[in-house]
Amino acid sequence: MEIKGIITPIITPMYDDESVNYDELKNQINRLINAGLHGLFFFGTNGESYILTAEEKKKILEVAVETVNHRVPVYAGTGCISTKETIQMSKMAESIGADVLSIITPWFAAVSQSELLTHYKAIAAEVKTPIVLYNIPGRTGANIAPSTVGELASVDNIVGAKDSSGNFNTMLQYLDATKGKDFSVLSGNDALILWCLLAGGTGGIAGCSNVYPKNIVGIYDNFIQGNIEQAKICQSSIQSLRNVFQYGNPNTIVKKATQLLGYPVGNCRAPFNQIPAEGIEVLKKVLAEYKKNGME
């Protein structure tokens, strides 16, 4: 299993009553695969993992694995606060057929690097599926130190790390700490995908690829082909969309943007679903400009 390319942290479509819209989930899966995405990540931040029940996650993953049908790797976010529950969720995802487990750090209670090492090693010992560490300190309050990533990279089935800290130096330190090991570093910040690749990383888990999948795929595909200037154009073109993030949660903006493109994905679950009127108008203007430019 190669951890590389552009992986979409796919949104979870919902009806107005906040129940999961499985028909539209299938539609989004096919839409993204047809656009050339290299993997689909279920239960990331954009998938509203923080607000889905364990039962919902099980059904969503069952539908996902069946719909994807081995066309691209299926990543499943299985991280919970406790080690015990994370192992349970990881085994569930493994039994359904997930190809990769993405495991976020525990949150709310402060966690030490020693505790993180024990946590991840215990999980890795209970499953055979490859594991990608998920570092997003802005949401969890926990940062996986580069030295911790370096030690965990020696565990057979811990094969990569997604860094969503937004700190490029952290990503560089992850690359340095895992140099010479069979380990992938992915950008979890859409603005840093190309720079991650240029530094030696292998791709990105990109929320904006829910909105403009072909453009985001263009960052990676052009990089691989050696067309760095075109990759830069694809990278810089999403900045207008990212600027709208100032009006709400980034995943709320991404879901609303996808909805405004005409896909019935619904809103994020309350209370994380509000965007001020000014933000909606700015978003509509950005999408109109992208449409004029032929962005897909």
Residues recognised as catalytic: 134, 162
Per-residue burial over 203-224, b = 16 or more CB atoms within 10 Å of its CB, e = otherwise: bbbbbbbbbbbbbbbbbbbbbe
Tokens 């829910």 label which residue? 210
CA angle 76, 38, 264 (to 5 degrees): 70
Q: Is 180 left (phi over 0), alpha (psi -120 to 50) or beta?
A: left
> What is the rounded end-to-end Cα distance, in angstroms, of the chain?
28
Helix axes 83-96, 54-68, angle to 10 degrees: 30
Which among 259, 200, 269, 255 has a CA at the least distance from the CA of 8?
Answer: 255
Which residue type is seen at 227? Answer: N
Strand partners, 101: 76, 131
CA separation for the pair 260, 224 (Å, rounded): 32
